Structures are given as structure tokens and as C-alpha cells.
Amino acid sequence: MLSDPIADMLTRIRNGYLAKKEKTNIPFSKIKEEILKILVKEGCLASYKVMGKQKKNIEVGLLYKNSQPAITHISRVSKPGRRVYKSLKNLPVVLSGYGLAIVSTSQGLMTEKEAKKKTIGGEIICKIW
């Protein structure tokens, strides 16, 4: 049993890039699908597709730019043992604005830039650049 499925998903993506794979498979959950939706929209991943009917998996297409991975660093911030919540004023700026942080707010998952526009804080899920 996995104690942190989001960290497992991020590790599978990181390992896929390190192994120079085109695609990687991840067990399905709705929150993982929302995180992947944000990553595809921000240009960090090529695509994702939900596969299967009974036991669902998500097939993630990894994106390379000039044969270099689109994501060079991906890390989990808030963990099950230690939740990290930030107010609007304390939302992180990742790599001087070149990276992104995914925030879980009362209005759903979004990037830290969207959360600042909506003037809300939340739980910092992960940082990516």
C-alpha cells in the first residue's frame, strides 16, 4: 500500500524523464488527473490519457524540448506527515517565476499564479521547474 500516491506519481514522472522514456503509466485517481491537467496546460508534459475500465491507469506522455526534458526538477512539498499551508502573502515564487507550484485551494487545484489572482492561499502540493 502506498502512503503517498502523489509522491509516487511525481517519482514515476521523474524516473521516466531520467530513463528518457516517451511515456509512463500511473495508477488512476482524480487528484492525480487534476495535477496532470495543470502540468499539460503549463507545458510541462505532452499529454495524458486515462486507460482501462475496471482498473484504471493514466498514460502520461513526457515532453522533451531539443532532446532535453521539459521538467528538470519536480518535488513534493506537503506530505501526509507534514502538511504545508500558505496564506496568499506567503505563496512561493518558484525559480523567480520560471517554475510553478501547484496549490490545493478551496476552489480546487491551481498554480500559485492563479491562486494569487484569485487572492486565496492553500496547501502547497509540489514545486516544478
pLDDT, tens digit (0-9, with 9 covering 90-100), for 18-68: 999 999 999 999 999 999 999 999 999 999 999 998 899 999 999 999 999
Contact 70, 63 (CB under 8 A): yes
The alpha-carbon radius of gyration of the chain (Å, integer) is 14
The reported pLDDT for the residue numbered 2 is 65
- Give the CATH number, domain containing residue 20: 3.30.1370.30
For 17, the grid coordinates are 524523464
Q: Do 80 and 44 belong to one domain?
A: no
How many distinct structural domains can be found in the chain? Answer: 2
- Whether residues 86 and 106 share a domain: the answer is yes
pLDDT in tens, 83-117: 999 999 999 999 998 999 999 999 999 999 999 99
> What pLDDT does 1 receive?
52
What is the per-residue pLDDT for 106?
96
Pairing verdict, β 74-76 and 122-128 = antiparallel
Amino acid at 108: G
Q: Are 11 and 62 in the same domain?
A: yes
99: Cβ contacts below 8 Å, ≥ 6 apart:
73, 127, 128, 129
Is residue 10 pLDDT above 80, yes or no?
yes
pLDDT tens for 17-29 read: 999 999 999 999 9
Are residues 49 and 28 part of one domain?
yes
The DSSP symbol for 79 reads B
Same domain, 62 and 81: no
66 is written with which cell numbers?
531539443
User: What is the identity of the amino acid at 102?
Assistant: I
Give the domain extent around 85: 74-128
Query: Do 87 and 122 belong together in one domain?
Result: yes
